[in-house]
Chain A
Amino acid sequence: MSGTKEMPLSIQDLPNSYIGRSVPRPNARRLMEGRGTYVDDIQLPRLVHVAFLRSPYAHAAIESIDVSAAQRSPGVVRVVTGTEMAKHCTPWVGVLTHLKGLKSAPQYALAVDRARWQGEPVVAVVAQTRAQAEDAVALVTVEFKELAPVVNMETALDPATPVIHPKLGDNLAFERRVEAGDVDAAFATADVVVEETFHFGRHTGVTLEPRITLADYNAGDGKLTVYMSSQAPHMTKHILAEHLGLDEDDVRVVCNDVGGSFGIKIHTYPDEMSAAALSIMLKRPVKFLADRLESFVSDIHARDHRVRARLAVKRNRITAIEIDDLTGIGPYSVYPRTSGVEANQVVNLTGAAYDFANYRAHCRVVFQNKNVMCQYRAVGHPIAFSVTEGLVDAAAAKLGMDPAEFRRLNLIADDAYPYTAASGLRFEKLSHQKSLAKILAMMNYDALRREQAALRNNGVYRGIGLAAMIEVTNPSAAFYGVGGAHIAAQDGCTIRMDPTGGITCATGVTEQGQGTETMVAQIAASAVGVPIEKVRVVTGDTDTTPYGGGTWASRGTGIAGEATLQAGRALRANILEVAGALLQSAPTGLDIRNSVVVDAGTGTERMTLSDLGKTVYFRGNELPDGVRPELVATRHYAPRAYPFAFTNGLQACWLEVDVETGFVKLLKYWVVEDCGTIVNPRLVDEQIRGGVVQGIGAALFEHCIYDDQGQMLNASMADYLVPMAAEMPDIEIGHVETPTAESVLGAKGAGEAGTAGAPAAVANAINDAIGVLGAKVTAIPATPQRILKGLGKIDKGQ
């Protein structure tokens, strides 16, 4: 197929396109040799280290602090309390105007007067080494007066419960209601109603590289450089400047290699703000590195929801869903993204894969004296889909209908788009039906059901769990910017050609291992017409990359990828204009293939890019008059037509429950995902697999367990369980490709889908396995204890 003038080649059809190819990640090689640059690998002259005394209590008044012994401890440079820190770092408040009514209290870098969760930093100690700083922390004496902690979110709003921030009046941070259609009538006239209460444990990200900040203030020029393990350098730059009293242009944030983030490393943390403030106070580099025990009580937690839900069915069709969501977020709404977003997402997303009109949702977000909670991979999605899919399975069971067939009858039809969900979400184009058909074929569903039935006769309890899902990707300004946050929805790419013919791309999105730099290189190489080996990609440095939002909400490929494509096309046009002048040919008759300018029609080589580059940069005298070469181009892109480009998918889990021990063995897992245009199939699949395994972690293992005094009981890597290699199944992945029409590239995000759907698929599979015994589990993680309780074999535990 050759391109005609009427139909220009699409990016996928270019002669040397890398779109759709599983190119290995060039930047992974150095990581495999231990030659990466994580923040802790950076050594700076006069570097000192900060360690924190953290509140041992969930809620306590700080009566007095004695730092004299700590100050005399060997190697100590400075000891700082909350009152002093407040003079150097102003407090922040995590609210956004579009989350109407959301309230929170000022949060300080170090607690002033009162500590509000176990783990809140109270005193900072700076010393020559981290060990010396920790030695001195042990010598700080703080008189705490314990106050009654607010721990249980169910009673947080009771009049008898203490108010954590008296000035706020109560412990309610945020509340939202949605009402669509006639819910009461739908339930009153239903053939079948199912009702359930679901519990979701708190868990956290456990990035293998802990949070780390190395702040280097140069008093000579008044500039602050901060090396961080972060997902959003430009956002962080703004926050540092805002609260440390600096001009934003005097702050530079650099993110080199990042050892996992998953949404953990995108929030404002008091310990990291303290480290930056201390660097300014001491006029020297200061490093803060969370140790693992600190990570568990200071990295944001996620989930922690209780959802009461019911679903109505009439003539085998879902007619209504009603949910009531309660979530506890710790003592502060986290800045700047706020802690209202997860509950808001639960309200938006519940039921959203299904075609029904009557929807009532109510969410309440309450303060409590536990670690703060905020956005982590697949924000709100696992809750919304666990609730929906749990109800859908329950309804199918009550109707005596196969759960796959019930989904087929109720998922939104593939020809129904554009479609507006009952919750108000707008979908451009999704492919639920095609995806369902594909996954059922992949897993050989009918044969699996027969195998399940046969094994049951032998006392082997296996289950199949299905979960339909959608994912919020490519967010527009509607997500944060509209509410007043300095969080860029657009992203940019600057792409230039050097005299060598080499291409350098600088982009505002960041790399945490998902393959951002490879994706950008693939698109740039394709758009310009060079081999990928000729492309370098720069990320993570606010001094050298275009202003952008960074990497979150599955926006890298869909937004920065499109900006790269547009910038690459612009550079290509610039190159061809110069080439046309030098070769006395019309630029429209020329093309760039494999780093050579060729005649578009015949492919005849005319000039290499390296020759062109050398002419432009070194021998400008050879250029015809009037030619002003610009071998650089910048383009920015932000979606506007839709607030989000939703993806969709189906997940399926096949597992076995040992009904004597309650242990679950995962046997196989399938995913069908529609994330639009796929730039790199392998990288997409690996995002999905990694995401599924984090979702499996939530479903079976991960839980921040608190006692009734607000003490986290399992705050170590030994006690907090994460998935290990031996327990994980092989995950087979299939795709449907429905590109978004809003961009030329057509890509949507893929980073969170796995995590969004896996808890629902696993929980449904467990209940499918033990349902025949009359058992059911509606709380995750579905531990052996909970499963045995569901089976009636033990009566303790929750």
Chain B
Amino acid sequence: MIADREITFTVNGERVTQPVEPRQNLVDFLREKLGLTGSHVGCEHGVCGACTIRVNGLLVRGCLTLAVQADGAEVQTIEGISDSGEIAVLQAAFLERNASQCGFCTPAMLLTAAELLKENPSPSREEIRQYLSGNYCRCTGYQSIVDAVEDAACSVAGGTS
């Protein structure tokens, strides 16, 4: 077995230095070592999207990223992005539309929706559906999620005009 390696990186603005097993993926490290359990593990092969986290400003699959790859990186999880208020409008829209049932996909869905609105502040329903297709949801049937993202886009646009 390969020996642990020490990594230093920033998680939700906090500096973390810890030894990690080279084979451990980033989402398991965040969940098990740092107690950041908001990122979920749904398939461990990069399909369902539940483990989505933000590394250096870009969304990655936490199950396909090794923790050692995060050495020196800036990592943000649903906990940090909730606390900063960055996605408060989306969260309010999700609550209002009941765009979350069991909630297992929801943190990742919110991160993906936030990235979409950053790239495209007023997406069509078709564009929202396309963009969210890398995130599986088994409960909602997606319509309420599309509605919520649409509402959030409108409310952001309304707020800035």
Contacts and interface: CB of A to CB of B under 8 A. Distances in A.
A694 B101 CA distance: 14
B interface residue count range (under 10 / 10 to 19 / 20 to 34 / 35 or more): 35 or more
A315 interface: no
B98 A24 contact: yes
Interface in B117-160: 125, 128-130, 132-133, 135-146
Contacts of B143: 689, 728, 730-731
A689 B45 CA distance: 28
Interface string A1-44: 00000000000000000000000110011011111101011010
Contacts of A276: none
Interface stretch (A93-101, A337-345, A622-630, A719-727): A719-727
Contact of B96 (A24, A206, A691): A24
Interface stretch (B3-11, B64-72, B74-82): B74-82
Contacts of A257: 102-103
A43 B94 CA distance: 29
A271 B89 CA distance: 42
Contacts of B132: 725-726
B142 A208 contact: no
B101 A33 contact: no
Contacts of A262: 138
Given A207-B138, A725-B142, A40 B102 contact: no
A726 B130 contact: yes
A506 interface: no
Interface in A185-214: 205-210
Given A717-B45, A725-B132, A33 B91 contact: yes
B114 interface: no
Contacts of B100: 28, 31-32, 513
A689 B141 CA distance: 6
Given A35-B79, A209-B102, A724 B48 contact: no
B45 A38 contact: no
What size tier do the contact residues of chain A reach?
35 or more
A683 B140 contact: no
Nearest to B145: A725
Contacts of A498: none
Contacts of B48: 208, 292, 717
Contacts of B98: 24-25, 28, 515, 682-683, 686
Given A32-B110, A690-B139, A717 B47 contact: yes
Given A32-B100, A513-B102, A206 B138 contact: yes
A258 interface: yes
A35 B104 CA distance: 11
A686 B144 contact: yes
Interface of A: 24-25, 28-29, 31-36, 38, 40-41, 43, 74, 131, 205-210, 257-262, 291-292, 512-515, 682-683, 686, 689-694, 716-718, 722-726, 728, 730-731, 754
30 contacts: A28-B98, A32-B107, A33-B38, A33-B91, A34-B77, A35-B38, A35-B79, A206-B138, A208-B104, A209-B42, A209-B102, A257-B103, A258-B102, A259-B102, A259-B103, A260-B139, A292-B43, A292-B48, A512-B102, A514-B139, A515-B101, A682-B97, A683-B98, A690-B138, A717-B45, A723-B141, A725-B133, A726-B130, A728-B143, A730-B125
